[in-house]
Amino acid sequence: MDESKINRRGFLGTVGAAATGLALAASATAVAHAQDTTSAQPPSGLNPDVLTRTLPRTGERVTTLGLGTFLTFDLKPGDRRDALRQVFERYVAAGGRVVDTSPLYGSAEVSVGQFMGEFEGSDEMFLANKVWATGEYLGDESHAVESFRQSQMRTWRDTINLMQCHSITNAPVIIPLMKSWKKDGLIRHVGVTHHESAAQEQLLAIVERDDVDFIQTNYSIFNRDAERRLLPAAADKGVGVLINLPLEKARLMKVVEGQPLPDFAQEFGATSWAQFFLKWVIAHPAVTSVLCGTSNPDHMSDNVQAMTGPLPDERMRARMVAYMETIPGFGSIGSMPWYPGKENMYSGLIREAQANAVRRLQ
């Protein structure tokens, strides 16, 4: 089975995006409105050593590294979740307080709810969830309403911090519905997501209409499309930004396999390649939180170090890109399959459904 033909929206869609040139400076407006990482006193429950950002529209503080759960948290019924519980525990023990999930992530939403329910500080967690519902006819809200009710039960939450229109599906119907939930106090923020650069123009239009409080988009040291227009626009409008694919689904880690970390990484406190790539994304002033998923507890212990210590400045970020462009294979990451060499690692409900669909099409 060709793993490069699998993505979040469909079983056979091609994943990939071309790298673009690094913008050396954000616009003056974007910088002026960028979310603050240095506010003096974090709210109760947040580790003062952890980097946070302030949400422009509510003043809430969230950690700059979030826990993503697509594929990594999806297991079949009966499979042991000990490693996933350790991933979650290490994340929160390090001070992380942002978790992103979806009803479409197989069993991930259930695991998130279980682990948060076991965590004494569950109320401190900023839970980002999603709605994907097209209904039986144009304007039908029933599927979205049922999806939200199910998410409340699975995550043990009566109020969810952020609900997002998953992959812009049926956005003209779902966004107004979520606004009504916000008005009724059922959610605190309204958002919209996608994980492909081709959708960033749609996200930009939504941001410019002032339709949402949050967007979620792909952005990495390899795929820098979002920094052209989308990230500056979000900063200008005071819209929070969640980032997905910061490690390009392990493809970045694959191309640096066996490569030494450059000496200049110590200037911003990176001691591993994962921290190198994560800090590069976190350092963009418009980014609120960077979602990074793993099923390996040791990898989580490494990842969480990216949300402490110094961040690379604009000049250093440019230097980081220039260095990566000397690494063989960096320019062809977009043509690689997700999780290269680990194609059989995630075998939950999503992979099972994808495999079944491919067999039926043969």
pLDDT of residue 45: 61
Distance CA 89, CA 80 (A): 16
Write the CB contacts of 240 (distance below 8 Å, at least 6 apart in sequence). Answer: 35, 55, 56, 57, 189, 191, 213, 214, 215, 234, 288
- pLDDT per 10-residue tile (average), the chain, 362 residues: 38 33 36 42 66 93 97 94 97 97 96 95 94 86 95 95 96 95 98 98 97 98 98 98 98 97 98 98 98 97 98 98 98 94 85 89 88
- Number of structural domains (the chain) is 1
Write the CB contacts of 102 (distance below 8 Å, at least 6 apart in sequence). Answer: 69, 70, 108, 109, 129, 130, 132, 166
Decide if 139 is inside a domain: yes
Asked if residues 249 and 335 have their Cβ atoms less than 8 Å apart, the reply is: no
Work out the angle at residue 289's Cα, subtended by the Cα atoms of residues 302 and 299, and round it to the nearest 5 degrees. Answer: 15
What letter would DSSP give residue 105? S
List the alpha helices (DSSP H) in the chain. 28-33, 82-93, 108-118, 142-155, 171-183, 200-208, 230-237, 251-255, 273-282, 297-303, 314-324, 349-361
Decide if 46 is inside a domain: no
**SS in 3 state form for 261-321?**
CCHHHHHHCCCCHHHHHHHHHHCCCCCCEEEECCCCHHHHHHHHHHHECCCCCHHHHHHHH
Q: For residue 210, what is the domain's CATH number?
A: 3.20.20.100
pLDDT of residue 39: 39
pTM of the full predicted structure? Answer: 0.88
pLDDT of residue 130: 98
Decide if 135 is inside a domain: yes
Distance CA 146, CA 205 (A): 28
- Residue 108 neighbours by CB distance under 10 Å: 28
Decide if 284 is inside a domain: yes
**DSSP result, 120-159:** TTGGG-EEEEEE----SSTT--HHHHHHHHHHHHHHT-SS
Give the helix/strand (H/E) hosting 215: strand 214-218
Distance CA 24, CA 315 (A): 7
Distance CA 337, CA 312 (A): 29
pLDDT of residue 99: 98
Distance CA 169, CA 102 (A): 13
pLDDT of residue 38: 40
Residue with token string 């979310």: 35
What letter would DSSP give residue 254? H
From the list 274, 249, 258, the residue with the least C-alpha distance to 335 is 249
Decide if 23 is inside a domain: no
Decide if 51 is inside a domain: no
pLDDT of residue 135: 81
Decide if 126 is inside a domain: yes
Asked if residues 163 and 127 have their Cβ atoms less than 8 Å apart, the reply is: no
Decide if 31 is inside a domain: no
Range of the domain at 102: 59-351
